[in-house]
Structure 1
Amino acid sequence: MVSSGNNYKDKVSQLISWGHWFSFFNIIAAMLLGTRYIVHSEWPETLLGQAYLAFSWVGHFGFLVFGFYILILFPASFLIPSQRLMRLFAVLVGTIGLTTLLLDTHAYESLELHLSPLVWDLLLSGERTELNARWQYLFITVPVIFLLQLVLSEWLWRKLRKLTRKHVGVPIAMVFGVCFISSHLIYIWADANLYRPVTVQRSNFPLSYPMTAKTFMEKHGLLDRKEYTERLNAQGVEDSDQIRYPLEKMSFRDPGTQQNILVLMIDGLRSDMVKPEVMPYLSAFAEQNLNYTNHYSSGNDNDSGLFGLFYGLPSSYYNSIRSASKQPLMLNTLEKRGYQFGAFSGNGLDEPIYQDAIFSKQALPEATEGTGDPQAISDWTAWLTEQPTDSPWFSYIELTSVENFEEGGDYVPVFEPSLGSNDTQGQDTNTLFKNSYKNAAHYIDEQLITIFDQLVAQGQMDNTIVVITANHGTEFNETGSNSWGANTNYSQYQLKVPMIIHWPDSVASVTKRQTSHLDLVPTIMESVLSTTAPTSAYSSGTSLFKVNPKRRWLLAGNNDDIVMIQPKTTTVVDKYGNYRVYDQDYQQLDAAKPKLSTLMQAMHEMKRFYTPK
């Protein structure tokens, strides 16, 4: 029994020693494969950035492989009595690990994503995509990796005593440990100081989660959170990818129609409010003009919705546009055609998207003192009366009462009980909020009468294109997910908005096919400004006048999410490649998967306007 115990102990000791060396050489193999991440990633320009890259390359793969050894092979050394069986098990583990890493490097090179549910579905799907076909060839290397692991296993077992006598294990472990700790300490400093040459490398390697300590530093007075947030917002613009907008030189067949254009943006108005009992005037106006009843904003917040409407691009390009100081192509072309510009808002136009992007190069009329939609309409009326009759104009009016419905306003409530009622005790909160929202929408409906009366009085209606829409919708927890307002999910309540257009000499019609904010720019560029350039050169949308366009999806989202809207489903893909599929009521479909070739097309569209690296 004593002899048997010592024999078991010796076997385990040998297997553990062998496992250390087996892990070491697999760390070297993983590091060599990891150079593919380095080649495909942006090379750091500073010495500290390069030092962090070297430390993280050595430390991360050392920690990653040794971590799998501790979790899998080390316990197995005690459980598997046969050294041959144990070595075979280790070879299988090593083969699976290196194959997975090889697949991950290819995913990173192809999609700039690490392995995720989306990437695995691409790999295992039966669809014939270029990516899928290329990945299948990678499995040819599996037998080669397995054979090399077998050779390594046998060689290490034969040389184990000789290697053990060298006593280099501790120095090697110290090198990996120092690199691992140094990389995390450097990242803590870089994250607090927004040092981009380091922070941009955060997701270069798989399963990489660099340490941060902002809360700790703030607690000890080493970090000013407010200043940090301001610098973070600025860095998002400065560090954005370079954009090509438009992709080619624009050409035109004639000077265009010279029609006036008025864009009426009703903040937060969802499409189902355009009905006789809530907005009777706008509802009647929609019946007499072009009404797109299945229209979606390009985002569920103010910036995303406005950006898509004026640029015709997904909002993922927003920071790049701000960084390059690119004005919307549509407005730039209008300015070259001699259009006069006027922009007015119930909240002012001091938001960054107006100042840094949409109207960054426009000389706009100064607003008079005072706030609110009546003041904005009054300013617009005064501006309109001053416009010369022989010069076309473009004007933008942002009406904010619906967005600010909780604050109430100087109007008589039509729907009761509401937040402004004398007695709200015991009333359903949802009813109070929704009635207040309807009251604000009804009030805006009356304000629209003033705008159109002014156009008619000045004889401008027959030569003015009027676009009535919203930046996003507003939800009152219809999805049952405790979602209120906007910017909380991508349901139709937050994305589906009105799109009503008065186009002189057009016949009233109702369009039920899916349309998007991204479609307005191509519509104006083609039908007003007479461009001959292909739509794909300057927009991700398609003209609203195009009959039965072949489109499988609409794009929405922001910097973090890609949202693909289809007739029966909405697919949300986050920046890590995880995806969720929802039905028309925004209830998650656990077993549903998007058509992956279509999803690849949508992801390509989100990167098409970037300058190639």
Structure 2
Amino acid sequence: MVSSGNNYKDKVSQLISWGHWFSFFNIIAAMLLGTRYIVHSEWPASLLGQLYLLFSWVGHFGFLVFGFYILILFPASFLIPSQRLMRLFAVLVATTGLTALLLDTHAYETLDLHLSPLVWDLLLSGERTELNARWQYLFITVPVIFLLQLVLSEWLWRKLRKLTRKHVGVPIATVFGICFISSHLMYIWADANLYRPITVQRSNFPLSYPMTAKSFMEKHGLLDREEYTERLNAQGIETSEQLRYPLEKMAFDDPGTGKNLLIVMIDGLRSDMVEAETMPYLSAFASQNIDFENHYSSSNDNTAGIFGLFYGLPSSYINSARSSNARPLLVSTLEQRGYHFGLFGGDNLRQDPIYSDAIFNGLPVEEMTTTDQDAEVVDSWASWLKAQNSEKPWFSYIELTSVQNFEEGGDYSPKFEPSLGSSNISGQNTNLILKNSYRNAAYFIDEQLIRIFDQLVNRQLMDDTIVIITANHGTEFNETGSNSWGANSNYSQYQLKVPMVIHWPGSVSSVSDRLTSHLDVAPTLMESLFNTTTPSSSYSSGNSLFSPSAKRRWILAGNEKDIVMIQPQSTTVIDKYGNYLVYDQDYKRMDSAKPKLSTLMQAMHEMKRFYRAEQ
């Protein structure tokens, strides 16, 4: 019994010692594969950033491989009595790990994503694409990796005594430990100080979660959260990628039609409010002009929705546009054609950086009126309109905010009861009360639209003016049952689907149910107002609303964190890490649904197509 016990202890001791060396050489192999991440990633601009890269490269892969050893191989050394069987098991584990790492490096090089449920689904989808074919070729290396691991396993077992006598285990472990701890301490400092050469490396390596300590530092007075947030927002602009917009020089057949252009932006108005009871005038106006009933904003957020409308680009380009001081091509062309500019809206029009730093930056605006009262906004616009010289065309932008701010009430009489401010509303359904107040605000806006069009009719401008009525995003009243209210909380149709009614002189009334987007507005105006001959793909991610092309399979929405692909029967939300969720038309999870690889690749390509290529 004593002999048996000693033999078991000796075998386990040998396997543990062998396992340490086996892990060490696999750490070296993982580090060599990890150089593919370094080559594909942005090279740090500072010496400190390069030092962090070295520490994190050594420390992360050392910790990653040794962690798998501790979790898998170390316990197995006690459970598998045969050393040959144990070594075969270790070889299988190492082969699997290095194969997964090889696949991850390829995913990172091609998609800028690490292995995730989305990437695995794409890999195993069976869909025939060039990318999928290349991935499948990687599996050819599996037998090679397996054979190399077998050779390494046998060599280490034969040289185990000689390697053990060298007593270098502690120094090697110390080097890896120092690198690991140093990289996390450096990242804590960099994260608190927004030191980009280090923080930009956060997701370079797989399963990398650098340590942060902002809450701890704020608690002990070492960090001012407000100042940190301000610096973070500023850095997002300064360090964004450079925009290449448009992709080629614009060409025009002629100076364009010379029609006036009026865009009325109704903040927070969802598309189902355009009906006879809530907005009778807009409903009638839509039936007499061009109504796109299946139209979506480019985002559920105010800034990104407006950005998409003017630029025709997804919201992932917002910071780049602001950093590059690149005005929308549409606005620049209006200026070049000699249009007079009149901007009218609330404080948001002057304070929101999307207007001041991007869309209307540096424009010779004749008048900019900012008031939170929509009736006063329309009054100011009417006065400006009277002063316009009919010999020169004008562009006017009116932003109306009563619908967005419906909970604040207004000086208009409610129509739908019960609503906020009404008496005896206790016990009533909160959803009904809020929605009625929202509809009251929409009804009030409808009356302001009457005043706007009366001015155009009275001045006989309808035949010379293009009018676009739309919204930046919609508003939800928990229709999805997910406790979502207002906007910027999910990507359901209640928060994304908005009106798009266009009065185009000389056109016949029509109703379109094809999938359209805010990204389509800029190409529509560039082609039909300014007669550009440059293809829309050179300056936009959308298509002309008047294009006779077939119905599209998907449109893009989202924000800086999420890519949203809206399709006729589903909505797919993909975060920046490659995790995805698929929803049906009612925004209910579709657990078994998966996006097509070809569709996903097109969408991800569109999010990067307008970045300036590195020289």
TM-score interval, normalised by the smaller of the two chains: over 0.9
Distance 1:355 1:560, change over 3 A: same
Q: Give the Cα separation in 2 of the matches to 1:241 and 1:405.
A: 38
Aligned residues: percent identity? 78
Tell me how far apart the structure 1 counterparts of residues 573 and 436 of structure 2 sit (CA, whole Å).
Answer: 31
Name 1:77's counterpart in structure 2: 77
* Residue type at the aligned position of 1:512: D
**Deviation digits for residues 168-193 of structure 1 (CA, Å, limit 9, x no counterpart):** 00000000000000000000000000
> Are positions 1:453 and 2:454 aligned together?
yes
User: What SS does structure 2 have at the residue aligned with 1:342?
Assistant: strand
Counterparts in 2 of 1:348 and 1:479: CA distance versus 1, 3 Å: closer
Partner Cα distance (1:120, 1:391) in 2 = 58
Q: In structure 2, what is the equivalent of residue 374 of structure 1?
A: 375
Query: In the alignment, what sits opposite 1:118?
Result: 118
Question: Structure 1 residue 505: deviation in Å?
Answer: 1.2
Aligned to 1:234: 234
In 1, distance between residues paired with 2:23 and 2:551?
A: 53
Give me the whole-angstrom Cα distance separating, in 1, the residues matched to 2:601 and 2:153. Answer: 41
User: Is the contact between residue 344 and residue 370 of structure 2 (CA under 8 Å) also seen in structure 1?
Assistant: no
Structure 2 match to 1:489 = 490
Deviation at 1:548, TM superposition (A): 3.8
Match of 2:317 in 1: 317
- 1:165 maps to which residue? 165
CA separation of 1:369/1:30 partners in 2, compared to 1, >3 Å: closer, same or farther? Answer: closer
Query: 1:524 deviation in Å?
Result: 0.3
Structure 1 distance, partners of 2:138, 2:325, is 43
The alignment status of 1:570 with 2:575, answered yes or no, reads no
Cα distance, 1:504 vs. partner?
Answer: 0.7
Aligned residue identity for 1:442: Y
Written as runs of structure 1 = structure 2, the 5 A alignment for 1:408-557 is 408-557=409-558
How far apart, CA to CA, are the structure 2 residues paired with 1:343 and 1:147?
A: 71
**What aligned pairs does 1:34-53 form with structure 2 within 5 A after superposition?**
34-53=34-53
Comparing 374-383 and 320-329, the one that deviates more:
374-383
1:364 deviates by 2.4
Q: 1:252 deviation in Å?
A: 0.2
Letter in 1 for 2:476: E
The 2-side partners of 1:186 and 1:442 are apart by 57
Alignment deviations for residues 329-364 of structure 1 (CA, whole Å, 9 cap, x no partner): 001011101101111113341101101111112132
Structure 2 Cα separation of the partners of residues 347 and 266 of structure 1: 14
| SS of residue in 2 equivalent to 1:282 | helix
1:343 — aligned with what? 343
Give the deviation of 1:368 after TM superposition: 5.5
Q: Give the length in aligned residue pairs.
A: 613
Offset at 1:147?
Answer: 0.6
Alignment of 1:188-267 (within 5 A): 188-267=188-267
- The answer as to 2:582 corresponding to 1:590 is no
State whether residues 492 and 586 of structure 2, in contact with CA within 8 Å, keep that contact through their aligned partners in structure 1.
yes
Output the CA distance in 2 between the equivalents of 1:95 and 1:421: 70
Question: TM-score, normalization: structure 1?
Answer: 0.99
1:370 and 1:113 mapped to 2: Cα distance? 45
SS at structure 2 position matched to 1:264 = strand
Residue 100 of structure 1: SS of its match in structure 2? helix
CA contact (8 A) 1:346 1:375 kept: no
**In structure 1, distance between residues paired with 2:81 and 2:384:** 89
Alpha-carbon distance between aligned partners in 1 of 2:192 and 2:420, rounded to the nearest angstrom: 43
**What CA distance in whole angstroms lies between the structure 2 residues aligned with 1:574 and 1:496?**
21
**Are the counterparts in 1 of residues 296 and 518 from structure 2 also a CA contact under 8 Å?**
yes
Once residues 261 and 464 of structure 2 are traced to their aligned partners in structure 1, the CA distance between those partners, rounded to angstroms, is 9
Residue 549 of structure 1: how far off its partner (Å): 3.1
Residue aligned with 1:552, SS:
coil
Q: Which amino acid aligns with 2:228?
A: Y
User: Does structure 2 conserve the Cα–Cα contact (< 8 Å) formed by 1:260 and 1:463?
Assistant: yes
C-alpha distance in 1 between matches for 2:370 and 2:434: 30
Q: Where does the alignment leave 5 or more consecutive residues of structure 2 unmatched?
A: none
Is residue 264–residue 467 contact of structure 1 (8 Å, CA) maintained in 2?
A: yes
Once the two structures are superposed, residues 387-424 of structure 1 have per-residue CA deviations (whole angstroms, 9 ceiling, x without a partner) of 11100001000000000000000000000000110222
| SS of residue in 2 equivalent to 1:84 | helix
SS of aligned partner of 2:481: coil
CA contact (8 A) 1:417 1:432 kept: yes
Q: Which runs of 5+ in 1 are unaligned?
A: none
Q: Partner of 1:297 in structure 2?
A: 297
Q: In structure 2, what residue type is equivalent to 1:428? A: N
Report Cα offsets for 1:204-253 as digits up to 9, x if no partner. Answer: 00000000000000001100000000000011111111111000000000
What is the alpha-carbon distance in structure 2 between the residues aligned to residue 367 and residue 246 of structure 1? 28
2: CA distance, partners of 1:367 / 1:566: 38
Q: 1:319 to 1:205 in 2, by over 3 A?
A: same
Return the offset for 1:121: 1.5
CA deviations over 1:88-129 (Å, ceiling 9, x no partner): 000000000000000000000001100011111121111111
Q: Secondary structure at the match of 2:347?
A: coil
For residues 455 and 296 of structure 1, the distance between their equivalents in structure 2, rounded to whole angstroms, comes to 27
The change in CA–CA distance for 1:368 and 1:255 in structure 2 (over 3 A counts) is: closer
1:143 matched residue in structure 2: 143
User: Corresponding residue for 1:3?
Assistant: 3
> Aligned partners of 1:348 and 1:208: how far apart in 2?
39
Contact 1:327 1:361 in 2 (8 A): no
Q: Which amino acid aligns with 1:474?
A: T
CA contact (8 A) 2:346 2:370 kept: no
Q: CA deviation at 1:367?
A: 4.5
Aligned equivalent of 1:611: 612
Say if 1:315 and 1:557, in contact at 8 Å, map to a contact too. Answer: yes
1:577 and 1:41 mapped to 2: Cα distance?
A: 17
Q: Distance in 2 between matches of 1:367 and 1:330?
A: 19
- 1:175 and 2:164 are equivalent in the alignment: no
Amino acid at match of 2:361: S
TM-score (structure 2 length as normaliser): 0.99
CA contact (8 A) 2:372 2:401 kept: no
- Secondary structure of 2:343's partner? strand
Contact 1:573 1:580 in 2 (8 A): yes
RMSD of Structure 2 on Structure 1 (CA): 0.9
Q: Read off the aligned partner of 2:451 and give its amino acid letter.
A: T
TM-fit CA distance, 1:496: 0.4
**Aligned residue identity for 1:587:** K
- Structure 1 residues 391-402: aligned runs within 5 Å: 391-402=392-403
The worse-fitting range, judged by mean Cα deviation, of 547-556 and 185-194 is 547-556
Aligned residue in 2 for 1:386: 387
Q: Is the 8 A contact 2:259 2:465 kept in 1?
A: yes
Q: Which amino acid letter does the alignment assign opposite residue 488 of structure 1?
A: S
Distance 1:513 1:297 in 2: 14
Cα distance in 2 between the residues matched to 1:52 and 1:424 = 61
| CA deviation after TM superposition for structure 1 residue 371, in Å | 2.9
Q: Helix, strand or coil for the counterpart of 1:246?
A: coil
Distance 1:498 1:175 in 2: 62
Aligned 8 A contact 2:342 2:365 in 1: yes
